[in-house]
Amino acid sequence: MDFRSLGAYLIITATEWPPARLEFLAHSARPTDFDFLKVIGKGNYGKVLLAKRKSDGAFYAVKVLQKKSILKSKEQNHIMAERNVLLKNVRHPFLVGLRYSFQTPEKLYFVLDYVNGGELFFHLQRERRFLEPRARFYAAEVASAIGYLHSLNIIYRDLKPENILLDCQGHVVLTDFGLCKECVESEGTTSTFCGTPEYLAPEVLRQEPYDRAVDWWCLGAVLYEMLHGLPPFFDKDVAQMYENILHQPLQIPGGRTVAACDLLQGLLHKDKKQRLGSKADFLDIKNHVFFSPINWDDLYHKRLTPPFNPNVEGPADLKHFDPEFTQEAVSKSIGCTPDTMASSSGASSAFLGFSYAQDDNILDS
């Protein structure tokens, strides 16, 4: 879904030191610096927990991953890519920020901004669908974040309601960068088959080289789901769903404005070269008539009032998290630092340069 000082800990920025030096200095960040309070999410390789730093009581979302599981699945490159992308994203208002990352012999820890307004998926399941103004607001903030990633030559590749969080005011926060592809120039392509079945673009299914336009297809699929309650080509049979994505014409139920229908047709065009966003990327989206009510400068600076307020009462308010997670007991091992931080398994060498600490003033500017 998208997760300040540590006592006498020396804080430095990534641009000032090489990874090896960062790794050494960041070792003073340890699991014992935090109280791990609740499980608030799960993934393939670990969990996300609400944690409070002991030194100042600040709350964070800490993503804790098992090295053994990552290495077994040969996913270490994706984890390091996620770490690299997080370092580049700290200045955008609709992307989750990385505060620290560190490791023990068995685990990796991402210390992220804590966002407790709930997943977009959570709210969509509860309300079934959103009215156009609300869907437009979320789609605009997501498009702004995706456009920013593209400006850094990053393709996101896994846009879905589960990866879109709401903050305490109701603004979008995009999270989970494990499937991002870095270093893709504006005319460049990549070819890895990855993503979530309901949101895969036709060119990905055809295993053709694809470009940034896959993210605009995903935006179209998410917008369609916000307006209609299900992804556009959904079928319980995944093979049939893939067939629908590849060959079935887009069906848009009635009751939508002409602008909304035109945007969906443009974003969900099966030919990537004809898809909205294929020419001028984010500018194509920004200039579409559907978004004409949006002042993009005000949107970026969060001067627009969100259409929905999560009404959270503070960091301990977990009403927008699934009780399936929050009622699970927190393992004591998550908050323990081994007697020795040296790894005998060789796992640390697979994640060399993972540890990181960011200057608070830069993050908060």
- Residues recognised as catalytic: 158
CA distance 347 to 52: 27
Which residues fall within 8 angstroms of residue 103, CB to CB, at 6 or more apart? 67, 109, 348, 351, 354, 355
| Dihedral angle, C-alpha 211, 215, 221, 222, nearest 10 ° | 170
For the chain, the first-to-last Cα distance in angstroms comes to 25
Residue 72 marked as a ligand binder: yes
Most distant CA pair in the chain, distance: 64
Residue with tokens 């030919």: 271
Q: List 352's β-bridge partners, or say none.
A: none
- Rounded to whole angstroms, the Cα distance separating 294 from 261 reads 18
- What's the DSSP call for residue 273? T
Q: What are the strands, taking DSSP E only, across the chain?
A: 34-42, 46-53, 59-66, 98-103, 107-112, 164-166, 172-174, 356-357
- Residue 36 vs residues 201, 224, 352: alpha-carbon distances, Å: 38, 37, 25
Q: Rounded to whole angstroms, how far apart are CA atoms 10 and 21?
A: 12
Give the Cα separation of 169 and 155 in Å (integer): 27
Q: How many helices (DSSP H) and strands (DSSP E) are in the chain?
A: 14, 8
- As a residue count, the chain comes to 365
- Both tokens assigned to 303: 């001067």
Instruction: Please report the DSSP string for 243-272 in residue order.
Output: HHHHHSPP---SS--HHHHHHHHHHT-SST
Give the angle subtended at the CA of 103 by the CAs of 101 and 106, to the nearest 5°: 145
Give the annotated binding-site residues. Answer: 72
Give the annotated binding-site residues for ATP. Answer: 72
